[in-house]
Amino acid sequence: YERGRQSNYFETEHCDVIYDAFLGDSELSKSVACKDLLNGDCDLSPKKYLVEESVVENATPLGIVIASVKRGATITSKQMDALLSERPARFRYLSLSNITNGMLNEPLPSLKEIPADCDRFCIKKRSLVMGKVGSPFKMAVVEPNRDCQVLVNGNLYIIEFDEVRANPYYVKAVLESEWGAKMLQQQSQGSVIPNISVEKLMALSIPLPD
């Protein structure tokens, strides 16, 4: 299509390209059997079928090396305004905006306290925190700190690993690589704001050498 100021529009040559793609398999189109659609959770995203699958050596599903994965705490803006502290405190808050280029923007915002029902959303073990929305997906490894307690926002996954099987920094490096970003994109859903589910994340296979 041709991009316009307020809307996009088709020229005759664009219609010809679309029609030709409809007539047979090409870089822009592929015939998919109904059983394959069902096996793929009826996902009709073109990227799922038009992107050539990479061969992964020593392929291991993330679900095998993940000890636990959960979303962070859902906190409203009103609740957050009441919790934020202007003075440095031992309670900290981690959201998607606090991650840049795979690193935490220190110091994290301070909180007056962590609500009792939110304790389970704090970093307990060395964890990979990863955004559930966006492209590329932001992520960082967070180490537990005895001097402060970090509460994680609901737009992030808290992923703890069986570190006998996989090192969080290695998994992060794989997922942030060009190949990893491509795999995450393929597993994500939504064209405007891509998001990845826990199920898709657990099923993603990464190279895991002995």
The Cα 32–Cα 39 span in angstroms is 11
Which stretches in the chain have pLDDT values below 70?
51-55, 191
Please count the other Cβ atoms lying within 10 Å of the Cβ belonging to residue 59. Answer: 12
The pairing of beta strand 91-94 with beta strand 149-152: parallel
The Cα 195–Cα 136 span in angstroms is 10
Per-residue confidence (pLDDT) for residue 54, from 0 to 100: 65
Per-residue confidence (pLDDT) for residue 57, from 0 to 100: 82
Number of H helices, E strands in the chain: 8, 13
How many Å separate Cα 94 from the centre of its chain? Answer: 16
**What is the separation, in whole angstroms, between the first and last Cα of the chain?**
48
